[in-house]
Chains A and B, each alone.
Chain A
Amino acid sequence: MMSAVTGVLETLGGRATSAIHRLGFASRFLLLTLRNSGMCFRRFSLVVREIYFAGVLSLIIILVSGLFVGMVLGLQGYDTLVRYGSSSALGVLVALSLVRELGPVVAGLLFASRAGSAITAEIGLMKATEQLAAMEMMAVDPIARVIAPRFWAGVISMPMLAAMFSAMGVFGGYLVGVQLIGVDAGSFWSQMQDSVDFEEDILNGVIKSVVFGIAVTWIAVFEGYDAPPTAEGVSGATTRTVVTSSLAILALDFMLTAFMFRGA
């Protein structure tokens, strides 16, 4: 009986220490990536190519999701606000929800599942088919040539996608609120402009999306690089990227929100 309990504790302890080991390894990997980023800026075309695969190919899902989220916000928001006679504040509700929270977070989650998993799979596969080893044997550092461009592409794409998500969402809220339900267009926009502050809301949202971009892309490139060179290894790494990125986004969101919006 006792041995069962100690067995469980041992496993827990083992898992915890190996998780910390991994975090340490991942941090060193990030530093290595940053130090080897010189090539990225000298040959920016490498980064451009990766922005296409990470950012441009995520455009459709981000724009469509943003539109739908905005429309739902419009519907639900109106339903609640109209009970207090404040339906003219719909614009404020939609805009603040999107710019402060939903834009960075939901766009981040979508980016993690679409682009993050693709990056992990690609790097994992390159490792499994010895392409990274071949590159190293040809005296080209794979970290500088393969990893770093993908990292910077993710960091650059994320804020763009979050802004697009929020913009589409506001438009979606406008479509539903003003065009469909009949909230006054004037008060929709004017109250929104009065309440949404550039520094406090929009800039904070951008900062959040940059932080999320760094977190998601870091996790994606690391999991790909560290994946066991087998089919199960790569698929496990891809799943881990999506799960870990999502949890990281939500945890970071809480921390950043608590820090940025306290007592507002």
Chain B
Amino acid sequence: MPTIPATDNLVEVEDVNFAYDRRQILKGVNLSIGRGQVVAIMGLSGCGKTTLLRLIGGALRPTRGEVRIDGKAVAGRSHDELFALRRRMGMLFQFGALFTDMSCYDNVAFQMREHTDLPEALIDDLVLMKLQAVGLRGAHRLMPSELSGGMARRVALARTTALDPMLIMYDEPFAGLDPVSMGVIGQLIRRLNDSLGATSIIVTHDVAEALQLVDYVYFMSDGMIVTQGTPDELRASDKPFVHQFVHGEMDGPMPFHYPADDYARDLRATEA
């Protein structure tokens, strides 16, 4: 019988630092994600959000600090334990990362075939159910190259949830999608999270979509968490940085102009 964990947090990130090639990418990140929550990690490109996701997934090791899932540190696990953990996690990569040499059906069936001994007939039913949940059961024979961006992402979503994971991570799920597809993905994320009883982490810089969807937001800049709160709190925030980001303002703490010399002097110089 599984023991009841001490906290209600599925994921705990404690004072995590990460450096790569002498560049400090994460500088002391602290956050926790409760079970059943849908949490967004937002920030500009290059602030370290994707790195944080990789750390949680165990693909990278923190240079300092600890990442805990279900109370146990991720980095300390043995190879077999890590693989067992990964079977209970799902990650949706940017643009889907479907295996291009197999059909949509085979993509979704991949994990079932690799990790379970289920008979092919049962796998068949499961695959079709997963595709039905994302609305693409009719496309199961197609190859990934024959799908549009939004469709590919939905199939990838079906693949990610194939083994009913307890933690689902999304790396920029809304990138490059048309408004309809964005809305579809957003709704699917929420629907799947709730029906599977899972916990979801979304890394994105799509403010509108995210604030509509999630329970809690962590805001990152330059390798640190600068703000956190519920979507309502963030919308109402008067912190200049958050305000600029949420409302998409052209100028603020993040300057519009790239550092340059005095404008008048520059113009006069070219006259000569």
Contacts and interface: CB of A to CB of B under 8 A. Distances in A.
Do A and B interact directly, with beta carbons closer than 8 Å? yes
Interface of A: 125-126, 129-131, 133-140
B100 A137 contact: no
A137 B57 contact: yes
A221 to B, nearest CB: 16
B241 interface: no
19 contacts: A129-B100, A130-B93, A130-B94, A130-B97, A131-B99, A133-B93, A133-B97, A134-B93, A137-B57, A137-B90, A137-B91, A138-B86, A138-B87, A138-B110, A138-B114, A139-B86, A139-B87, A140-B111, A140-B114
Q: Is the interface of A mostly helix, strand, loop or mixed?
A: helix
A229 to B, nearest CB: 12
A42 B207 CA distance: 48
Contacts of B91: 134, 137
A179 B98 CA distance: 55
Contacts of B114: 138-140
Interface residues of B, number: 20
Contacts of A139: 83-84, 86-87, 114-115
A157 B111 CA distance: 30
A139 B115 CA distance: 9
A138 B56 CA distance: 14
B51 to A, nearest CB: 13
B59 interface: yes
B89 interface: yes
A136 B99 CA distance: 13
B36 to A, nearest CB: 22
B111 A138 contact: yes
Contacts of B94: 130
A57 B111 CA distance: 29
Given A137-B89, A139-B86, A140-B114, A129 B59 contact: no
Given A130-B95, A138-B86, A140-B114, 7 more contacts: A130-B93, A130-B94, A133-B93, A137-B59, A137-B91, A138-B87, A139-B84
Contacts of A140: 110-111, 114
Q: Which of A129, A130, A137 has the most chain B CB atoms closer than 10 A to its own CB? A: A137
Nearest to B93: A130
A137 B86 contact: yes
B59 A136 contact: yes
- The 3 tightest CB contacts between A and B, nearest first, are A139-B86, A130-B97, A134-B97
Interface in B88-109: 89-91, 93-95, 97-100
A136 B93 CA distance: 12
Contacts of B57: 137
B7 to A, nearest CB: 25
Contacts of B111: 138, 140
Contact of B100 (A131, A135, A136): A131
